[in-house]
């Protein structure tokens, strides 16, 4: 009896030791990829219920495609590229893996010199680079009434900075509001996707923007996961 008891006790103990070893070497559950969305009212979700804004809709879009991701809403209404630069560093936490930068619309509305906007965006990308954070830069296009020189300088800063910092690029925040391959839509054609102010997208407009932006964000996630 003593021998049987001893053998049984040892067997139970040995199984416990093996199980403990397995648990010790089992990989920890992967943390979700954290993306900070640095932007203005377009990012913040101005004029919309929280769940209809860009960040919640983008998070839902990514989750539906199997991505374990946390998107932090760092959009501030009225923010310019200067405001974005002033808070870029403290917007990035220790767990931040990537950043979406969508700024410049308010610079346009205020007619700010594109050279100034460019320096600010350059500074934001430097902050991300120093933090080891991958970036998706979302551009804007100036309207023609600013004059050809202003438009050329403003439109060029996004692709040129993306190339300089090896950042991903979406040429225009509003790309999703026109049919693939179509010319930029006239304001009247976009009205059904916009709120009454004609500046901010409505729920359907945000959904279309997310659908166009989403594949680039997936590439951003792949880059962040590879680092």
Catalytic residues: 41, 197, 200
Backbone φ and ψ for 114, nearest 5 degrees, come out as -55, -30
Q: Taken in order 200, 198, 149, 180, is the CA torsion positive or negative?
A: positive
- Tell me how far apart the alpha carbons of residues 103 and 83 are, in angstroms, rounded to a whole number: 9
- Give the distance between the most distant pair of CA atoms in the chain: 98
Task: Report the first-to-last Cα separation within the chain, whole angstroms.
Answer: 59
How many other C-beta atoms are found inside a 10 Å radius of the C-beta of residue 158? 24
Backbone φ and ψ for 16, nearest 5 degrees, come out as -60, -40
Q: Taken in order 222, 140, 88, 198, is the CA torsion positive or negative?
A: negative
């Amino acid at each position: 009896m003593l021998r049987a008891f001893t053998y049984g006790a040892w067997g139970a103990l040995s199984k416990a030791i093996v199980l403990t070893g397995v648990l010790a070497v089992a990989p920890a559950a992967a943390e979700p990829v954290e993306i900070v969305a640095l932007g203005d009212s377009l990012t913040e979700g101005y004029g919309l219920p929280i769940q209809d804004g860009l960040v919640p809709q983008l998070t839902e879009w990514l989750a539906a495609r199997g991505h374990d991701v946390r998107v932090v809403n760092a959009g501030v209404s009225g923010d310019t590229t200067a405001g974005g630069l002033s808070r870029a560093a403290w917007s990035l936490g220790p767990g931040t893996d990537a950043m979406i930068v969508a700024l410049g619309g308010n610079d346009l509305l205020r007619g700010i010199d594109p050279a100034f906007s460019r320096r600010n965006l350059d500074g934001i990308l430097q902050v991300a680079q120093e933090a080891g954070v991958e970036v998706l830069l979302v551009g804007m296009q100036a309207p023609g009434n600013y004059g050809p020189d202003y438009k050329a300088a403003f439109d060029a800063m996004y692709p040129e900075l993306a190339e300089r910092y090896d950042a991903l690029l979406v040429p225009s925040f509003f790309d999703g509001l026109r049919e693939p391959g179509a010319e930029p839509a006239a304001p009247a054609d976009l009205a059904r996707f916009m709120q009454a102010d004609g500046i901010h997208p409505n729920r359907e407009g945000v959904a279309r923007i997310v659908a166009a932006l989403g594949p680039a964000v997936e590439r951003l996630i792949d880059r962040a996961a590879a680092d």
